[in-house]
């Protein structure tokens, strides 16, 4: 991934309960995005691959073990914050339908399962409905989301070809 902003990796754990697809998201308790429902993940550290970062972040934030071979590459979202360029992010997305352990709350995230058909978009970053449903349906995205000057609303989103 070409990094114009911070390298970030997110992993969406998927399951079915009584035939209803669900995704693990979390209430962000600290730092960037505090108070929002977000995907599980965070910054890619030096010397770490995107997949390694996703695996580490899921362990740190939700106490769940994911194996590299159980990750599915779901694409990339580049977030552009013209009013606050230091917030720009190049985000690699993964999903996983297999893992070990039960999600538990950490200092950073309070994880919870949500039906994929009724995502809590009113409590998430406003960009989520531009790309997350595609990812949760098994698709792969390559999108640039440009945020408005308020750093909340989406000014534009553009899908790119791979």
Query: Residue 88 to residues 3, 78, 80, 151: CA-CA distances in angstroms?
Result: 9, 8, 5, 11
**CA 76 to the chain's CA centroid:** 10
Query: What's the domain count of the chain?
Result: 1
Q: Has residue 1 been placed in a domain?
A: no
Check residue 129 and give its pLDDT.
Answer: 87
pLDDT tens for the chain, residues 1 to 162: 444 789 999 999 999 999 999 999 999 999 888 999 999 999 999 999 999 999 999 999 999 999 999 999 999 999 999 999 999 999 999 999 999 999 999 999 999 999 999 999 999 988 898 899 999 999 999 999 998 998 888 888 888 865
| CATH classification of the domain holding 26 | 3.90.79.10
Q: Has residue 145 been placed in a domain?
A: yes
Range of the domain at 17: 6-159
Check residue 11 and give its pLDDT.
Answer: 98
Distance, in Å, from the CA atom of 66 to the CA atom of 64, rounded to the nearest integer, reads: 7
Q: Has residue 87 been placed in a domain?
A: yes
User: What is the β-pairing status of strands 89-96 and 71-80?
Assistant: antiparallel
Check residue 161 and give its pLDDT.
Answer: 67
Query: Residue 99 to residues 14, 33, 131: CA-CA distances in angstroms?
Result: 10, 25, 23
- Helical H segments across the chain, by residue range: 50-62, 128-136
Q: Is 122 helix (H, G, I), strand (E, B) or coil?
A: helix
Beta-bridge partners for 158: 144
Beta-bridge partners for 12: 95
Q: Has residue 89 been placed in a domain?
A: yes
Q: Has residue 19 been placed in a domain?
A: yes
Q: What is the pTM of this model?
A: 0.92
């Amino acid at each position: 991934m070409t990094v114009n902003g911070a390298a970030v990796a997110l992993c969406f754990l998927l399951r079915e309960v009584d035939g209803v697809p669900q995704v693990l998201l979390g209430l962000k308790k600290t730092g960037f995005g505090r108070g929002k429902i977000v995907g599980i993940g965070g910054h890619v550290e030096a010397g770490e691959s995107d997949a390694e970062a996703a695996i580490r972040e899921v362990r740190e934030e939700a106490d769940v073990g994911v194996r590299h071979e159980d990750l599915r590459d779901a694409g990339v979202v580049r977030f552009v914050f013209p009013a606050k360029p230091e917030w720009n992010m190049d985000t690699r997305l993964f999903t996983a339908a297999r893992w070990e352990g039960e999600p538990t709350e950490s200092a950073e995230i309070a994880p919870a399962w949500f039906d994929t058909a009724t995502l809590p978009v009113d409590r998430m970053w406003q960009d989520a409905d531009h790309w997350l449903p595609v990812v949760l349906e098994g698709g792969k995205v390559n999108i640039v989301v440009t945020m408005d000057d308020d750093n909340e609303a989406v000014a534009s989103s553009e899908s790119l070809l791979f």
